[in-house]
A and B are shown apart, each in its own frame.
Chain A
Amino acid sequence: MVEWTDFERATIQDIFSKMDYESVGHNALARCLVVYPWTQRYFGNFGNLYNAAAIMGNPKVAAHGAVVLHGLDRAVKNMDNIKATYAELSVLHSEKLHVDPDNFRLLADCLTIVVASRLGTGFTADVQAAFQKFLAVVGSALTKQYH
């Protein structure tokens, strides 16, 4: 089981309790599609992803970004059992969606940048470490059911 210090637990709860899930989710997913363009291959039915402006303004990207962040919420509420929490989602991403698990790290990186830009100086090195540990555990859990 993953060990969390009191500081790490408090930091994760604090970040997510103040977060605008819709806005952050939208921004993080859009950044992923812009900065790592090959990720667009998973969103063939999203319509116009032709350039950064199109991606940012695309309503399907915004909606799906919110879906992903709300999915992340489950880990926030079950920090002591993230692996089991995401068992089904892991199977989904592997067997149905065929997502290369590398992409979990890319999305995590973009989410980190969005949170960093929103928190500014509040995103201290300790907070960064806790947040990145959390996202690494999430990524690991999502990759768990891959063969």
Chain B
Amino acid sequence: MSGGGDKEGIKSARAANSDCSLILESLIVGKSTEADSMVEWSDAERSAIAAVWGKLNLDEVGPQALGRVLIVYPWTQRYFGTFGDLSNAAAILGNPKVANHGKVVLGALDKAVKNLDNIKGTYANLSQLHCEKLNVDPDNFRLLADCLTIVIATKFGAAFPPQVQATWQKLMAVVVAALTSRYF
């Protein structure tokens, strides 16, 4: 990775310009100053993502996606020991803590959709949280992404054609990578 040396160069140049506020902001908020690691999004991809996201009821889709993860990949229940009854599909789908947490997760995904050009920076703190505090195996991010994609497919039917699926899965991959980025 060649970014390290450039970051030092940019920092010292900015310090020389006495613009310490920019450096402080990036450190506090965790934003990346490396332009070379940016994901490229075409106009078509941006519109496709906005179109999909615009039609989703986050409060409905979040609980459904998280519910599916807990049902289809039961080992994920280990992260939710305080959620009460997860003993079968009906219990999981009716569990208010699952529903609530599904909404929290989709709310966080909204931040990525609104910051397509800096998903990595947007999720730096969340990544650290999932690693150091929640101890979540990053494989599980992909499982949740897959379940969310399936929920979207069930709702959109023919309105989720291959090209839109490809764009959506690219977004999911970038989000998963960003959430994994602070793991050591």
Contacts and interface: CB of A to CB of B under 8 A. Distances in A.
Interface string A34-69: 110000000000000000100110000000000000
Contacts, number: 62
A128 B157 contact: no
B162 interface: yes
Interface residue SS majority, chain A: helix
A83 B44 CA distance: 43
B41 to A, nearest CB: 16
Interface in A7-43: 27, 30-31, 34-35
A126 B147 CA distance: 12
A75 B163 CA distance: 30
Interface stretch (B49-57, B67-75, B110-118, B131-139): B67-75
B165 interface: yes
| Residue picked from B156, B160, B162, B165, most chain A C-beta under 10 Å | B162
Interface residue SS majority, chain B: helix
| Residue picked from B72, B149, B154, most chain A C-beta under 10 Å | B154
B13 interface: no
| Residue picked from A55, A120, A128, A132, most chain B C-beta under 10 Å | A128
A125 B154 contact: no
Interface string B75-98: 000000000000001001100000
A113 interface: yes
A109 B154 contact: no
Contact of B146 (A31, A109, A123, A125): A109
A128 B68 contact: yes
Interface of B: 67-68, 71-72, 89, 92-93, 146-147, 149-150, 153-158, 160-163, 165-166, 169
